[in-house]
Amino acid sequence: MLTLDKHSRVPLYKQIEEQIMLLIRLGVYQPDALLPSIREVAAQASLNFNTVKKAFANLEALGVIYTTPGKGSFVSGRAPENRQLQETAVSQLTHALQSALAKGVPLEEVLNLAQRVYQHQIPSAATPE
């Protein structure tokens, strides 16, 4: 289900968050769909339970998922259009672009990278933060 890069500088819990959000955005997980349990994800990815738990807790705090005790974690009905997430992403992207500009990365390279990411040619875990 998830493809994690254990050598990336992006923390594993962040990679989990981003990949779950992408799967929701792509429609793999529809609103109110049951997500795999934290234990399942941890076992499948050979990760510590607490790493996955942190990712799920962050997703819940962002309103992307909700948890029903005894039943599991589900995709929030408002997850695909979460304005708070989009605003945060725009802010982070602005900061990254300002940093790229200051470090001399040509606009053409930035645009090429953006196109590759949006076409899913680069896994989200491998993209720089």
Q: Is the pTM of this model over 0.85?
A: no
CATH of the domain at 88: 1.10.10.10
Give every CB contact of residue 74 below 8 A, 6+ residues apart in sequence: 32, 33, 34, 35, 65, 66, 67, 68
| Nearest in space to 75 (alpha carbons), one of 66, 84, 88 | 66
Query: Which amino acid would we find at residue 100?
Result: A
DSSP letters, 49-85, are HHHHHHHHHHHHHTTSEEEETTTEEEE-TTGGG-HHH
Find the domain containing 71 and state its range: 12-126
Per the domain annotation, does 3 fall within a domain? no
Domain count across the chain: 1
| Nearest in space to 39 (alpha carbons), one of 29, 50, 27 | 50
Per the domain annotation, does 76 fall within a domain? yes
pLDDT tens, residue by residue, 22-49: 888 888 999 999 999 999 999 999 999 9
Per the domain annotation, does 63 fall within a domain? yes
How much is the average pLDDT of 8-19? 93
